[in-house]
Amino acid sequence: KWLQVQVVHSCGPLSAGQSVRLMYYSAQIPADLVDKLERLALLDFRTKQGLVCLEKAIRHADQLLVVDTSAVEPMDSVLEDRALNLRDDTAMEGDCAEELLRLSKNIVEEYFVAPPGKIVHLISVRTSQEASLPH
């Protein structure tokens, strides 16, 4: 409810659909969705603070729904008015295996070494929570 008030204050009246959407997100996010998000982003945030942070992030993004974008093409790149530079098909790079392999702690002959199979380690976000999302 408090969110609704805030939005009306800044941007004008909401349509029925938009307000319903915002109200949904004040509820808890289902556990299997959290699971999926963790797997997709390789982040471990299943703490109380983590989930609160997630909720706030979603609400923050929801402000976009308030803007009337009918008949407006989305801008998906700030470079949209630039010309894309095309490169000539001539070899100019590469041949620096030694330099690259030196960056890795673990190499075998001239290969980088990775743990087998899919990466499953989740990176904990506990420390990065302080780096805040505005709310």
Partner 1 sequence: MNILNVILKNYRSRLQRNQTTWPPPVLQRVSCYVICVNKYQYFVQKFPRGAPVNSNREENGKRNIYAPQQLVGVVGLEIHAQINSNTKLFSGSSVRFSAPPNSLVSFFDASLPGTLPVLNKRCVEAVVMTGLALNCTINKKSLFDRKHYFYADLPAGYQITQQRQPTAVNGRLTYSFLEGKKRSQVTKTVSIKQIQLEQDSGKSLHDDVRGQTLIDLNRAEGQLRVDANVSVHKPGEPLGIRTEVKNINSIRYLAKAIDYEIQRQIDILQSGGRVQNETRLICTADKAPLFSTPAFRFMPEPNLPPLIVYEDNASLPAGISVCQAVVLQAIRQELPELPSIKRDRLVQTYGILPEHSFTLVNEDGLVEYFESVLKVTKMEPRKVIGWVTNDLLGHLKQQDMSSIQTAQLALVYILLRTRVFLLAAASQVFQEMWTSSGKTAQQIFQEKDLALVTDTAQLHSICQRVVDSHPEEVDAIRNGKKKVLNKLMGLVQKETKGRADPVLVRNILQEKTS
Positions that interact with partner 1 (CB under 8 A): 36, 40, 42, 76-97, 100-101, 103, 108-119
Q: Minimal distance in Å, beta carbon 68 to partner 1?
A: 22
Distance of closest approach, residue 111 Cβ to partner 1, in angstroms = 4
Comparison of 71 and 91: residue with beta carbon closer to partner 1: 91
CB-wise, 68 or 110, nearer to partner 1?
Answer: 110
Dig out the tokens for 135 from the structure.
């709310």
**Minimum separation from the CB atom of position 48 to partner 1 (A):** 25
3-state DSSP call for residue 2? helix
Q: Which is nearer to partner 1, 116 or 134 (CB)?
A: 116
In contact, 90 and 9? CB cutoff 8 Å = no
Beta carbon of residue 107, minimum distance to partner 1 (angstroms, whole number)? 9
Cβ contacts of 106 within 8 Å, gap of 6 or more: 112, 113
Contacts (Cβ under 8 Å, ≥6 apart) of 37: 43, 54
Label residues 101-123 b or e (16+ Cβ within 10 Å = b): eeeeeeeeeeeeeeeeeeeeeee
